[in-house]
Structure 1
């Protein structure tokens, strides 16, 4: 049996399909992926036999069987022979925590890159912009940190040019590198990328302590992960965005939601402050008591769906995050499909994330 091929979806507009139409189209892809993974991954098949009714028809997206994201910490789940594994990804984790292990073959890795490129074109346009990474290049040399954090930097760096790191090995601002970069690209749009808490702690707070303001008025900052520590400091999205404007004149700040278990399927924030599900992925919110589907604006556990995972059964995952569907097809930004918000972690869930776990 060959893996399902839905690469023609790359020709679709990422946010141009109404939620109802996408439910039918994406549902076909996910049903085919479920069948593929059941045949190719024995542990996954055993999980579904224990948790699902084989006689129940799979008619809607919410009927696609899901597994908890934590299963990737407990088991090596792969749907291709080990000699076809091209890359092994691991999630970030603090000392002593188990990490997720995600096995990619070349087909899955290629599809991840292509879909991510499609989404980033929506944000940045087709031209690669000068890129300032709010991190240290040492993260790419540290094998303990080279997981979700290092991979995120490398993945997004594909969409930049003259990639420059704003922090040195001690996580201090490298002002020589920053000033030289800004001089080379004065007056140009600039792409900035980093993980939320690290941007706040090592970029904003250091600039504030120095009494320095950078001139990045045409900057587009993409950031994600690490909200737990900022929420503990009473810093919300509005305060974070205002701080970026204050310290560097950055007027466009875009948060995203994503995870290593579904790399490539990222949910980006729009101008109205909502996270959007692109045509290649979707989000369901489930009641934590019985896992029934929650209504709009009813808080529950986030489930993420994606057509990308072929080499591992990660196409329908119950996360450890709480959130709610805010609406569908009617966001003020004009994008179609579901849009949602994240409320925080499930109670007693491990702290995780690229910048949450940085010490």
Structure 2
């Protein structure tokens, strides 16, 4: 009954996960993603600027994690425009035409953290093109490893993007998620915290005996999802480190657990879409 096979991101030579989806699981994932993301961008489809290249989604049957991310978030876009051409260069003319046609409207942007920095932010600086995205909302994810090494913090990331295209820092949302649990994304709120949704849970385990860590104690991140029906992806112990910051008391008003990711454990293979792509650089 498999209708779609997805592969996790990985660097060359890595053994990647293959995720088999039947219609029911795929539908549940889409519905869940819609519930979570609509909190941040509203219930109506809006015009969408994808900060990536259309080349990524050419093979519809064998989705990479990157392609799955783009396609998953694309359902929120009414009209869609890719910001990059097939060579990962800025399509300035395409963007100008798109933004001119939708002047004054909210623009939803999606991309992977490092690619947004490398191919969007840096190229805008280079070319001097300054699109007005002051009414934009950006959702990005896929890992921070390369940017942390370049000494770029999440706060600076938002400020720099604001300088080149006017997007407000409070409208830039990181997310934590993985192809093994598509649909259950952990979105960053306006306070900069990642939140678990109704459909998922996050646990932090001590690396020495896998007992549960206290609030504020760093450990291994375990993610739990209700959604998988066609593959065993309900409970995943990741190779990421993080900590629970609290529950039901985030200043942003969202209920449930909120947490932060500290990074990969030492010597773990790079896995996120953004980080595996950044490895080329």
Aligned to 1:203: 120
- Aligned to 2:267, the other structure's residue is in SS state coil
Aligned to 2:153: 236
Corresponding position: 1:357 with 2:280:
no
Corresponding position: 1:176 with 2:65:
no
Aligned to 1:111: 28
Once residues 52 and 62 of structure 2 are traced to their aligned partners in structure 1, the CA distance between those partners, rounded to angstroms, is 12
Aligned to 2:187: 268
Unaligned 5+ runs, structure 1: 1-83
Corresponding position: 1:294 with 2:213:
yes
Contact 2:4–2:61 (CA<8 Å) still a contact in 1?
no
Aligned to 1:212: 129
Aligned pairs for 1:87-236 (under 5 A) are 87-141=4-58, 146-236=63-153
Once residues 63 and 229 of structure 2 are traced to their aligned partners in structure 1, the CA distance between those partners, rounded to angstroms, is 23
TM-score, structure 1 normalization: 0.75
Question: Once superposed, what is the RMSD of the aligned Cα atoms?
Answer: 1.4
* Structure with larger RCO (C-alpha < 8 A, sep 6+): 1
Once residues 147 and 101 of structure 2 are traced to their aligned partners in structure 1, the CA distance between those partners, rounded to angstroms, is 33
Once residues 166 and 352 of structure 1 are traced to their aligned partners in structure 2, the CA distance between those partners, rounded to angstroms, is 25
Contact 1:92–1:145 (CA<8 Å) still a contact in 2?
no
CA-to-partner distance for each residue in 1:286-323, whole Å, 9 max, x for gaps?
Answer: 00111110111110000001100111111111011100
Aligned to 1:315: 234
CA-to-partner distance for each residue in 1:183-205, whole Å, 9 max, x for gaps?
Answer: 01100000000000000000000
Once residues 208 and 112 of structure 2 are traced to their aligned partners in structure 1, the CA distance between those partners, rounded to angstroms, is 32
Q: Larger radius of gyration, structure 1 or 2?
A: 1
1:209, distance to aligned residue in structure 2 (A): 1.3
1:142, distance to aligned residue in structure 2 (A): 6.2
Aligned pairs for 1:270-285 (under 5 A) are 270-285=189-204
TM-score, structure 2 normalization: 0.96
1:146, distance to aligned residue in structure 2 (A): 4.1
- Aligned to 2:201, the other structure's residue is in SS state strand
Corresponding position: 1:250 with 2:177:
no
321, 325, 347: which one pairs with 2:266?
347
1:144, distance to aligned residue in structure 2 (A): 12
CA-to-partner distance for each residue in 1:315-350, whole Å, 9 max, x for gaps?
Answer: 111011100000011100111110000000011110
- Aligned to 1:166, the other structure's residue is in SS state strand
Once residues 88 and 212 of structure 1 are traced to their aligned partners in structure 2, the CA distance between those partners, rounded to angstroms, is 39
Corresponding position: 1:324 with 2:243:
yes
Once residues 328 and 119 of structure 1 are traced to their aligned partners in structure 2, the CA distance between those partners, rounded to angstroms, is 18
CA-to-partner distance for each residue in 1:211-243, whole Å, 9 max, x for gaps?
Answer: 232101000000001311111101110011111
Once residues 207 and 94 of structure 1 are traced to their aligned partners in structure 2, the CA distance between those partners, rounded to angstroms, is 28
Once residues 22 and 224 of structure 2 are traced to their aligned partners in structure 1, the CA distance between those partners, rounded to angstroms, is 19
Give the number of equivalent residue pairs.
Answer: 276
- Aligned to 1:325, the other structure's residue is in SS state strand
Contact 1:327–1:340 (CA<8 Å) still a contact in 2?
yes
- Aligned to 1:139, the other structure's residue is in SS state helix
- Aligned to 2:273, the other structure's residue is in SS state coil
CA-to-partner distance for each residue in 1:159-205, whole Å, 9 max, x for gaps?
Answer: 00111000011111000111011101100000000000000000000
- Aligned to 2:271, the other structure's residue is in SS state coil
